[in-house]
């Protein structure tokens, strides 16, 4: 087991890293390329461009946290590593949005599941958005390459009980299941991926591509928020960014101007469309912010006869795609089944309730098991996604209407999840729904699920997968960037993150972001060097 901390070592060795909260004067810097966001897309881009010999500046709104800060504590992690201190929600407050805000972006807090973009999704993109050269055969080498870079392989250790129950339930019912590939190296199987990997085992951007870029002379400003891209004629001239103060939420007043030949936006879904909207980037067909997707997630919890200890062990290791593409790619909403880790703060926020009932619910945490369904949104006319717009203060917000098409999928998913948990031996099951009691049997649950109102707020909904809002496509009337992430109207602007997906993925998105960013950055490096 290796405890070498790449970040601590690099900082000592003189990496060019600036904590913007320490800046006292306005300033201007210049590079070949400025990259906004340091997550899956930004990190990949930075490493590839820096290795190609281009000068790179990375801009990250969150702060640089690394091993010394990762103490397996929920409250500090949620406050420091997540967007809006873990309070991000959709515009009407009905869907909780989990998203990273720190160097490494969401990869610093994600659960390490690493799936290739499903082939039906890539084919759907080719057929419907003109993305012919993203067909599965063409993308294969990029997935191969990124799996190697991020040390992705199926998790061969036994799943924890939480995941094993999903496996057992599927087995009993004859539903398919499989082992999840994870991006880890020497993982201790602790269970704290969501609060910053304490052992540096997770091979997210923070331990791979960010160090790779900084080793190659890239400069990183953290605690620096990109406010506005400023155009001069038909090109972007510079980025205006605000230094945040040490409290991480208030701008200190110091402005940083960053000039470059090319700008890569990788502030992710919600963040990237937000930046483009603030910057009045040419958008003749009003596409920016539209078709934002989230893999809407609903959940059930079960009380098992034996201890589950759902807070320990690799958080995700088993999944089922039985219902994901079963009805065709564009039929009734399909869903992927997975398991979430359950720690006390997260559970007390996710399980709705108060008073005695809540105390009694949470008392059972060691015996609790949970299944989540991730709905594949964006593949059907009745699933057009949400819209990112700007609040008065310029911050982005996602409005996500849940259509009847999605409610139908969510109800079916509730059925499946409860059925699986009872099949695996659950004593009781309840839905994450304001009106759900604990059900004692599958037949009781089945009847009740048909009756429970599928309504905003009553059904507790979540997302950890923000996608779209700057969708790619060959037709500029329907998309923001082309199949290489190049903006249709501004020649020195590219977008390299999850915001370019024209639909949701139908699988956890990080490897899709890594692979597309690698492909598009390799092309961009060639262009800028040429």
Partner 1 sequence: MSHLPHDQESPSTIDRRSFLRAGLGGTLFLGTVSVTAGLSGCATAPAGRLDAADTPVDEGYRFQFLTRDDIELFQALLPAIVGPALMEEPEPRRQAIAGTIERIDQGIVQFGPANQQELRKLFDLLNFGLTRVTVARVWSSWPNATTAEVDAFLERWRTSGIGLLNNGYIALTKISNVAFYGHPQHWHLSGYPGPPPWAMQALPQFNNA
Ligand X SMILES: Cc1cc2nc3c(=O)[nH]c(=O)nc-3n(C[C@H](O)[C@H](O)[C@H](O)COP(=O)(O)OP(=O)(O)OC[C@H]3O[C@@H](n4cnc5c(N)ncnc54)[C@H](O)[C@@H]3O)c2cc1C
**Which positions lie near ligand X, rule CB under 6 A?**
36-42, 59-62, 98-102, 105-107, 109-113, 194, 225-226, 266-268, 271, 275, 316, 464-465, 497-498, 508-511, 513
Among 22, 358, 440, 443, the residue binding partner 1 under the rule CB under 8 A is 358
The interface mask with partner 1, positions 72-111, x = CB under 8 A, is: xxxx--xxx---xx-xxx--xxx-----------------
Spatial CA neighbour of 312 closest among 154, 106, 158, 202: 158
> Minimum Å distance from CB 243 to ligand X?
11
- Tokens in use for 246? 């040490």
Whichever of 326 and 391 has its CB closer to partner 1, that residue is: 391
Phi, psi of 424 (to 5 degrees): -85, 5
State the Cα–Cα distance between residues 157 and 406, nearest whole angstrom. 35
SS3 338: strand
> Minimum Å distance from CB 111 to ligand X?
3
- Helices 442-451, 404-423: inter-axial angle, 10-degree rounding: 170
404 touching partner 1, by CB under 8 A: no
Q: Which does 136 bind (CB under 5 to 8 A by kind): partner 1, ligand X, none?
A: none
> Minimum Å distance from CB 245 to ligand X?
15
DSSP state of 4: -
Whichever of 495 and 525 has its CB closer to ligand X, that residue is: 495
State the Cα–Cα distance between residues 34 and 42, nearest whole angstrom. 10
State the Cα–Cα distance between residues 156 and 385, nearest whole angstrom. 36
Cα first-last separation, the chain: 42
Class of residue 154 by CB neighbours under 10 A (exposed 0-12, middle 13-18, buried 19+): exposed
Q: Which long-range contacts (CB under 8 A, 24 or more apart) does 440-446 make?
A: 442/418, 445/418, 445/419, 446/415, 446/418, 446/419
Classify strands 251-265 and 27-36 as parallel, antiparallel or unpaired.
parallel
Whichever of 325 and 400 has its CB closer to partner 1, that residue is: 400
The interface mask with partner 1, positions 306-325, x = CB under 8 A, is: -----xx-------------
Q: Which does 32 bind (CB under 5 to 8 A by kind): partner 1, ligand X, none?
A: none
> Minimum Å distance from CB 356 to partner 1?
4
State the Cα–Cα distance between residues 35 and 496, nearest whole angstrom. 9
> Minimum Å distance from CB 425 to ligand X?
26
- Tokens in use for 424? 């695996």
Contact of 317 with 180, CB cutoff 8 Å:
yes
The interface mask with partner 1, positions 363-402, x = CB under 8 A, is: xxxx------------------------x-x-x-x-----
16 touching partner 1, by CB under 8 A: no
> Minimum Å distance from CB 110 to ligand X?
3
Interface residues toward partner 1, by CB under 8 A:
3, 5, 67-75, 78-80, 84-85, 87-89, 92-94, 188, 190, 192, 198-199, 247-249, 311-312, 343-345, 347-349, 352-356, 358-359, 362-366, 391, 393, 395, 397, 434-435, 453, 455-458, 460
């Amino acid at each position: 087991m290796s405890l070498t901390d790449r970040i601590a070592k690099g900082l000592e060795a003189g990496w060019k890293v600036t904590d913007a909260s320490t800046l006292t004067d306005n300033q201007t810097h210049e590079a070949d390329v400025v990259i906004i966001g340091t997550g899956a897309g930004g990190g990949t881009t930075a490493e590839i461009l820096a290795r190609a010999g281009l000068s790179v500046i990375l801009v990250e709104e969150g702060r640089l946290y690394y091993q010394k800060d990762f103490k397996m504590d929920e409250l500090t992690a949620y406050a420091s590593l997540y967007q809006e201190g873990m309070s991000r929600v959709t515009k009407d407050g009905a869907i909780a949005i989990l998203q990273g805000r720190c160097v490494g972006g969401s990869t610093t807090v994600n659960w390490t599941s690493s799936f290739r973009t499903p082939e039906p999704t890539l084919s759907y993109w080719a057929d419907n958005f003109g993305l012919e050269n993203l067909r599965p055969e063409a993308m294969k080498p990029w997935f191969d390459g990124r799996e190697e870079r991020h040390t992705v392989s199926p998790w061969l250790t036994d799943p924890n009980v939480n995941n094993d129950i999903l496996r057992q339930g599927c087995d009993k019912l004859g539903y398919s299941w499989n082992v999840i590939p994870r991006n880890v190296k020497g993982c201790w199987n602790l269970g704290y991926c969501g609060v910053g990997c304490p052992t540096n085992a997770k091979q997210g951007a923070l331990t791979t591509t960010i160090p790779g870029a900084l080793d190659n002379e890239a400069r990183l400003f953290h605690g620096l928020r990109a406010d506005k891209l400023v155009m001069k004629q038909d090109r972007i001239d510079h980025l205006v960014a605000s230094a945040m103060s040490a409290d991480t939420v208030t701008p200190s007043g110091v402005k940083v101007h960053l000039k470059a030949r090319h700008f890569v936006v990788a502030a992710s879904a919600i963040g990237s469309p937000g930046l483009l909207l603030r910057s009045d980037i040419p958008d003749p067909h009003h596409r920016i912010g539209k078709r934002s997707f989230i893999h809407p997630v609903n959940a059930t919890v079960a009380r098992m006869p034996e201890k589950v200890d759902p807070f320990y062990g690799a958080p995700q290791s088993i999944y089922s795609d039985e219902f994901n593409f079963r009805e065709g790619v564009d039929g009734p909403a399909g869903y992927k089944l997975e398991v979430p880790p359950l720690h006390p703060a997260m559970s007390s926020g996710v399980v709705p309730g108060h008073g005695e009932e809540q105390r009694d619910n949470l008392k059972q945490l060691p015996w609790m098991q949970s299944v989540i369904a991730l709905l594949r949104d964006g593949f059907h006319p009745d699933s057009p996604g949400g819209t990112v717009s700007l609040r008065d203060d310029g911050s982005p917000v996602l409005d996500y209407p849940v259509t009847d098409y999605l409610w139908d999928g969510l109800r079916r998913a509730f059925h499946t999840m409860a059925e699986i948990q009872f099949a695996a031996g659950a004593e009781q099951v309840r839905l994450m729904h304001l009106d759900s009691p604990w059900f004692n049997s599958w037949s009781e649950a089945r009847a009740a699920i048909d009756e429970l109102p599928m309504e905003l707020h009553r059904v507790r909904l979540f997302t950890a997968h923000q996608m779209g809002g700057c969708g790619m496509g060959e037709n500029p009337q329907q998309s923001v960037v082309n199949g290489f992430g190049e903006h249709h109207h501004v020649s020195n602007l590219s977008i390299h993150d999850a915001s370019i997906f024209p639909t949701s993925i139908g699988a956890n998105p990080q490897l899709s972001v890594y692979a597309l960013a690698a492909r598009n950055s390799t092309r961009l490096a060639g262009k800028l060097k040429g």
